[in-house]
């Protein structure tokens, strides 16, 4: 989104990153698509990685401070 880069984005984000990250902080909790051969709808879901949760906690605390 314009002027709202992903956390950890070294191309469009700030030169100095405010938080140490393991790459860009981007996560698809649910991904679904129609299989190109079987035409069956397939859906996959996965929880947030632990370090994403930790970053969210830090961001929430900073917002509330």
**For the chain, what is the largest distance between any 2 Cα atoms, rounded to a whole number of angstroms?**
52
Q: Is the pLDDT of residue 56 over 70?
A: yes
- Pull the structure tokens for residue 46: 């996965």
For the chain, the average pLDDT equals: 84
Q: Give the pLDDT confidence score for residue 1 in this predicted structure.
A: 57
Kindly report the number of other CB atoms within 10 A of residue 42's CB atom: 10
Q: Give the pLDDT confidence score for residue 2 in this predicted structure.
A: 65
The domain spans of the chain are: 1-65
Q: Give the pLDDT confidence score for residue 45 in this predicted structure.
A: 97
Mean pLDDT of 34-58: 93
Element (H, E) at 30: strand 30-34
Q: Is the pLDDT of residue 62 over 70?
A: yes
Q: Give the pLDDT confidence score for residue 36 in this predicted structure.
A: 98
């Amino acid at each position: 989104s314009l002027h709202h880069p992903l956390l950890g984005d070294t191309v469009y984000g700030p030169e100095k990153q405010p938080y140490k990250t393991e790459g860009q902080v981007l996560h698809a909790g649910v991904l679904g698509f129609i299989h190109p051969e079987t035409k069956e709808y397939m859906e996959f879901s996965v929880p947030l990685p632990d370090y994403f949760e930790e970053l969210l906690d830090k961001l929430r605390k900073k917002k509330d401070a």
